[in-house]
Structure 1
Amino acid sequence: MIDDRVAIVTGAARGIGAATARELSQAGYQVVAVDACLGDESHQLPGVNYPLGTEADLREIERYGNGKIHSSVCDVRDAEALALIVQSAVERFGRLDVAVAAAAVISGGKPMWNTPNEEFATLIDIDLLGVWNLAQACIPSMISSSEPQSCRFIAIASAAGSHGLLHLAGYSAVKHGVIGLIKGIAADLQGSGVSACAISPGSTRTAMLDASAQIYNLDSAEEFVSSNLLNRLLEPSDIAQAIKFCCSQAGSALNGSVLDLSGGFRT
């Protein structure tokens, strides 16, 4: 067990973010769980046609942590608010070891040339700029820590970050961008001791996958089982356990890398 390490996880109300907060808290981390908690207000986001996590979801994650998960409502598009949360965490716990950028939305369903610019802008602002904002807020504290070699910045990309998927050009573009950003961050971190990597999940049992099923007019997300060689959907816990490994001492070797957790992606 690790009793003094501290992590911040965005997109923590549901899905992979929630599973990561739970996994790290079980490993002994103090976890700052961040989510915008837009819930049914997701209709304010152009192209996002499914409900997002709620404050009730985030509180449930906090209760699960038995005092090791500390919830905070914040939109990753708000760089100043995010920086204040990071500052508060460092002041409270005296350190920040891990940051996991899991906040994201999906939209699509049309060819790229028929996709409104405002829908693409939403994807950029949350899925890509949200990662940028978290990195800018967290990495300086990691570099200046007493143990920078134990610090990790981890971003959730997607199998869409390595493949072009039908009617998901915008989503694919921003996830390619996340991978490029992580590679650039890793280059900038050279000599600091801090490492950065990306995780690229395939079809994982989340609300986002349910939304993907709607985009493709499928009866349920279970139809995505054919998208990998395991012939099953991945679980958020599968991804969270891999993230925990990335946070370990051995995980530093993944610096600048993209960990493919697709189960053997196939189209």
Structure 2
Amino acid sequence: MNTQSLAGKHAVVTGAGRGIGAAIAAALAQAGARLTLMGRNRAQLEAQAGKLATEVHVETCDVTDPENVQRAFGGAACALGDVSILVNNAGQAESQPFTKTDLGLWERMLAVNLTGTFLCTQAALPGMLGAGWGRIVNIASTAGLKGYPYVSAYCAAKHGVIGLTRSLALELARKNITVNAVCPGYTQTGLLEASLAQIAQKTGRSTEEARAELTRANPQGRLVEPQEVAQAVLWLCLPESAAINGQAIAIAGGEV
């Protein structure tokens, strides 16, 4: 890959204000793409935008709101042109035993993780079809490939993301548009730190004991770094990756 592999491409990254989303935006920018960063916290988005050496546009967006999504993608297209690359990274995880998983939690997990992916893809796809080229990468999770206890709603949503990925990949296979999923294991992010604090509070263990337990899930004995996820996403977005389609790629040290 050279530093201009994605020159002329407009990439949208949702949930781009921090963690994996911010790392993905940086990797795409280094490859020459123009970026629209989307998320709910404008200050975080603008802070990330200031770090990128490319043309960057910022749109606040709640991916669970259809009108909000259409507005944000309309603004992105007006600023930087039709979307060539869409990375559906916005997501949320909440844990509860299944017997304590109420309808509100269930619907939140589906709305953010699955319906948000659906809405953003529908908003970006017409431009890709018009241009005859596109890349869609959905950030799922190893929870979309296997089960974990106490996160049944999250697992169900991420399994849904992978099903959507596989179906849409076949539907678009002759349109020069690829659709793939990247499935990180436990990754060193702010979201993970919040999960560790929640585990510690509920179980009485220390945060470090909780971290050690999650680390043991990775055969390499470590947490995944956001940059490792970002490099997998970048690879899938390259023109040379046109034959990679409908895949769910685990970034998890061999856990899956």
Q: TM-score scaled by structure 2? A: 0.90
Match of 2:136 in 1: 153
Identity %: 31
Which amino acid is 1:69 matched to? V
Match of 1:173 in 2: 156
Match of 2:7 in 1: 3
SS across alignment from 1:152? strand
The total of aligned residue pairs comes to 245
1:106–1:211: 8 Å Cα contact kept in structure 2?
no
Match of 1:34 in 2: 38
SS across alignment from 2:243? helix
2:59–2:76: 8 Å Cα contact kept in structure 1?
no
Over the aligned positions, Cα root-mean-square deviation in angstroms equals 1.6
SS across alignment from 2:63? coil
1:70-106 superposed Cα distances (whole Å, 9 cap, x missing partner): 2211110122222232233333333321000000011
Match of 1:265 in 2: 255
1:244 paired to 2:241: no
1:180-217 superposed Cα distances (whole Å, 9 cap, x missing partner): 11111112213211110000000100122123323432
Q: 1:57 aligns with which of 27, 35, 44?
A: 44
1:92 paired to 2:101: no
Give the Cα separation in 2 of the matches to 1:262 and 1:250: 24
Give the Cα separation in 2 of the matches to 1:72 and 1:65: 16
1:141-182 superposed Cα distances (whole Å, 9 cap, x missing partner): 10111x41xx10110000111111111111111010110111
Which amino acid is 1:17 matched to? G
2:33–2:54: 8 Å Cα contact kept in structure 1?
no
Which shows bigger deviation, 181-190 or 130-139?
Answer: 181-190
Which shows bigger deviation, 162-171 or 67-76?
Answer: 67-76
Q: TM-score scaled by structure 1? A: 0.87
1:187 paired to 2:191: no
The runs of 5 or more residues in structure 2 that have no matched partner are 201-205
Give the Cα separation in 2 of the matches to 1:67 and 1:265: 35
1:137 paired to 2:123: yes
Give the Cα separation in 2 of the matches to 1:189 and 1:201: 24
Which amino acid is 2:67 matched to? E
Which shows bigger deviation, 59-68 or 21-30?
Answer: 59-68
Aligned positions of 1:102-117 closer than 5 A? 102-108=89-95, 110-117=96-103
SS across alignment from 2:23? helix
1:212 paired to 2:160: no
Give the Cα separation in 1 of the matches to 2:147 and 2:58: 35
1:21–1:69: 8 Å Cα contact kept in structure 2?
no
SS across alignment from 1:87? helix
1:223-245 superposed Cα distances (whole Å, 9 cap, x missing partner): 22211111111111110011000
1:82-132 superposed Cα distances (whole Å, 9 cap, x missing partner): 223223333333332100000001101x32122111011111111110000
Divergent runs of 4+, >4 A: none
The runs of 5 or more residues in structure 1 that have no matched partner are 38-54
SS across alignment from 2:50? helix
